[in-house]
Amino acid sequence: MEVWFTENQTQHLRISVRVRNILHHERSEYQELMVLDTHEFGRMLVLDNVIQTSERDEFAYHEMMAHVPLFAHPNPRRVLVIGGGDGGVLREVLRHPTVEAAHLAEIDGRVVEVARELLPAINNFDDPRARVFVTDGIRYVQEHPDTYDVIIVDSTDPVGPAVALFQESFHRAVFAALRENGIFVQQSESPFYHRDLIRQVQASLRRVFPVAALYWGVVPTYPGGLWTYSVASKGPDPRRPDAERWSRYGLATRYYTPDVHRAAFVLPPFVAELVEPAGRDAGA
Ligand code: SAM
């Protein structure tokens, strides 16, 4: 018998993946949590029936979330990931030797425990520089002013406890939690299906930070496949990777390179129009 998992990506669009095995299924305090073994994407984390990450395409997303801000920052030493309980962004952050502390503020401790056990290829929680705080990322940021060089929000879609992560009051708290030269990135959904959200996040970041911009990448399991990341900075130009540092590290990445970094900020017109006014972003 064939078993399929179906995610309703929009009200009128579904994606289905053929399941080899259901490895885990529970209702945590916050959400319904599943790990599926699938034919096309390998192991897959699903929360409230929404695909979060898969072994097959996770690198494309996690590398672009971590390496764009870390190679744009001149000396990233303290990094905070909010959400990201699968550990994929944290794993990429830890590949930077400048990083002394990589903290994760995840609201649902069960996601971390299950990911550690069933998705070991995606995470590296045992690195001594890594610490996990099971807490609401919004409160955590408010309680840690002037603490981090880079803050990355790897959240679920803007529903439930993730709603406020896309709002201006949170962006103001992030600004305060960042040290001088700090850089902030958050996943900001699909330019096909979530256009108002991208506009709202970009406008908010422009009000709060001197520099804000949008970049994109490809993630096959997310709606539309084309995904956006909103970035803001207290100073450094997020479009400019430190290519010398990249060469020195010799990281074996599968998606990110400094050329991909620069190219990701070149937006097709239907995406560029979500970033208004054009004159106030990261400069020409
Ligand atoms: N890459 C995935 C995506 O883009 O859909 C997200 C992966 S990660 C598993 C998302 C995590 O964000 C979930 O584990 C969820 O519990 C967490 N989360 C949601 N709201 C949060 C909040 N306010 N503070 C901390 N973590 C939160």
**pLDDT tens-digit series, residues 59-79:** 999 999 999 999 999 999 999
pLDDT of 282 higher than 70: no
- Going from N- to C-terminal start, the domains of the chain cover 3-54, 58-280
Q: Cα(229) to centroid of ligand 1, in Å?
A: 15
Contacts of 147 (CB under 8 A, 6+ apart): 78, 80, 177, 179
State which ligand 1 atom lies nearest to the alpha carbon of 164: 23
Q: Which residues line ligand 1 (CB under 6 A)?
A: 30, 47, 52-53, 61, 82-86, 105-108, 111, 136-138, 154-156, 161-162, 165, 187
Place 162 in a pLDDT band, splitting at 50, 70 and 90: very high
Percent of the chain past pLDDT 90, that is, above it, reads 95
State which ligand 1 atom lies nearest to the alpha carbon of 108: 16
State which ligand 1 atom lies nearest to the alpha carbon of 61: 1
pLDDT of 153 higher than 70: yes
pLDDT at 144: 98
Q: Cα(193) to centroid of ligand 1, in Å?
A: 19
In this predicted model, what pLDDT tens digit does every residue of 203-251 receive, in sequence order? 999 999 999 999 999 999 999 999 999 999 999 999 999 999 999 999 9
In this predicted model, what pLDDT tens digit does every residue of 200-215 receive, in sequence order? 999 999 999 999 999 9
- Please name the CATH architecture into which domain 3-54 falls: Roll (2.30)
CA distance 139 to 173: 9
pLDDT at 283: 40
Topology (CATH) of 58-280: Rossmann fold (3.40.50)
pLDDT at 280: 46
Mean pLDDT of 176-187: 98
CA distance 134 to 66: 21
Catalytic, out of 57, 108, 154, 242: 154
Amino acid code (one letter) for 12: H
Q: Is 119 helix (H, G, I), strand (E, B) or coil?
A: coil
pLDDT at 277: 65
Token couple for 40:
């096309």
CA distance 256 to 67: 7
Q: Whose CA is nearest to atom 2 of ligand 1?
A: 52
Q: Is 236 helix (H, G, I), strand (E, B) or coil?
A: coil
**Tokens 């400069």 identify what position?**
283
Active site residue 108: no
pLDDT of 20 higher than 60: yes
Fold match between domain 3-54 and domain 58-280: no
| Average predicted confidence (pLDDT) for the chain | 96
pLDDT at 181: 98
In this predicted model, what pLDDT tens digit does every residue of 167-181 receive, in sequence order? 999 999 999 999 999
In this predicted model, what pLDDT tens digit does every residue of 103-150 receive, in sequence order? 999 999 999 999 999 999 999 999 999 999 999 999 999 999 999 999
Determine which helix (DSSP H) or strand (DSSP E) holds 192, and give its type and residue range.
none
Place 22 in a pLDDT band, splitting at 50, 70 and 90: very high
Q: Cα(274) to centroid of ligand 1, in Å?
A: 24
Task: Give how far Cα 193 sits from Cα of 224, 227, 281, Å.
Answer: 8, 10, 23
Whether the model clears a pTM of 0.85, i.e. scores above it, the answer is yes
pLDDT at 276: 77
Q: Whose CA is nearest to atom 18 of ligand 1?
A: 83
Q: Is 213 helix (H, G, I), strand (E, B) or coil?
A: strand
Q: Rounded to the nearest 5 degrees, what angle is found at the Cα of 148, between the Cα atoms of 74 and 230?
A: 75
CA distance 45 to 40: 14
pLDDT at 270: 97
State which ligand 1 atom lies nearest to the alpha carbon of 65: 1
Q: What share of the chain is helix, strand, coil (3-state, %, to 5)?
A: 30, 30, 35
CA distance 21 to 161: 29
Q: Cα(247) to centroid of ligand 1, in Å?
A: 32
Q: Cα(84) to centroid of ligand 1, in Å?
A: 5
Amino acid code (one letter) for 128: P
pLDDT of 284 higher than 70: no
